[in-house]
Amino acid sequence: MRIFDPHIHMTSRTTDDYRAMAAAGVRAVVEPAFWLGQPRTNPGSFADYFDSLIGWEPYRAGQFGIRHHATIALNPKEANDPRCRPVLDLLPRYLDKDGVVAVGEIGYDSMTPEEDEAFAAQLALAVEYELPALVHTPHRDKARGTERTLAVVAESGIGPGRVVVDHLNEVTVAAVHDAGCWMGFSIYPETKMSPPRMVEILKEHGLDRMLVNSAADWGHSDPLLTRATGEAMLAAGFTDDDVDKVLWRNPVEFYGQSGRLDLSDLGPAADTFEGSSIKRGGS
């Protein structure tokens, strides 16, 4: 089983996690920029964090044979802090970098006017830099948050096929499916979404535009739940090819739209997808 985790915060994980992920079949990851627990007080903290997402963390992942890419943004939670707003001015410099495959995480936390403004501004950057966008949906009032998210996406002019709306559940998946956006699911040990529930969603809504991630952030989380979801799919009667589509080819297709996904030299199994703009040979 080859696995591409399309949303995982490796900054909060250890080398033991990298080792276990590699053993479980994880060959590639995308790490979205997000909050760091302790609130940041100035844009310089973000610049150092962004640099580590495109420099240090790919190096750390590489030691375990895992290819690491990043998405860059001012996250919704910190978009509410006036001390952090100037981060928006830092973004263009990072959105030009090779290892950056999307703008994200953007979207809503508490659905404030400040979040509205940062969300719209960053969708405009995604259009300008021809990058996909990774959109976080709020954990409270999720249905209303998702509805408003889809309205803002539609208004922005970005193609729905270049947007993943993440952290979905049984209640929110249908609207995102119908809007033509990609559907992201964060599988957690206790909350949000479990492998068996994910399998039911795949049975009902199909495998197209589906992205399964472990998020693996500061809370109780498990970077091997992508693998557990693949096993649960097989146990439910899905084929190896179905699992490969959800856990590998879908994220390659979505982030491949950046033109910057580099999966070269990952071995023969990882370079067989046709039709994406993956770079081949060289780095």
Distance CA 204, CA 173 (A): 10
- Residues between 65 and 94 that touch Zn ion (CB under 5 A): none
Tell me the closest approach of the beta carbon of residue 32 to Zn ion, in angstroms. Answer: 5
Contact 122, 149 (CB under 8 A): no
Tell me the closest approach of the beta carbon of residue 283 to Zn ion, in angstroms. Answer: 26
Residue 4 or 34: the one with the smaller Cβ distance to Zn ion is 34
Residue 106 or 179: the one with the smaller Cβ distance to Zn ion is 106
Residue 99 or 104: the one with the smaller Cβ distance to Zn ion is 104
Tell me the closest approach of the beta carbon of residue 192 to Zn ion, in angstroms. Answer: 11
DSSP codes, 61-75: HHTTT-EEEEEE---
Angle (nearest 5°) at CA 155 between 150 and 157:
105
Residue 146 or 243: the one with the smaller Cβ distance to Zn ion is 146
Distance CA 249, CA 251 (A): 6
Binding mask 17-46 for Zn ion (x = CB under 5 A): -----------------x------------
Tell me the closest approach of the beta carbon of residue 35 to Zn ion, in angstroms. Answer: 9
Distance CA 14, CA 222 (A): 12
- Residues between 188 and 247 that touch Zn ion (CB under 5 A): none
SS3 of residue 30 by DSSP: strand
Residue 50 or 238: the one with the smaller Cβ distance to Zn ion is 50
Distance CA 197, CA 203 (A): 10
Which residues of this protein are in contact with Zn ion, per CB under 5 A? 34
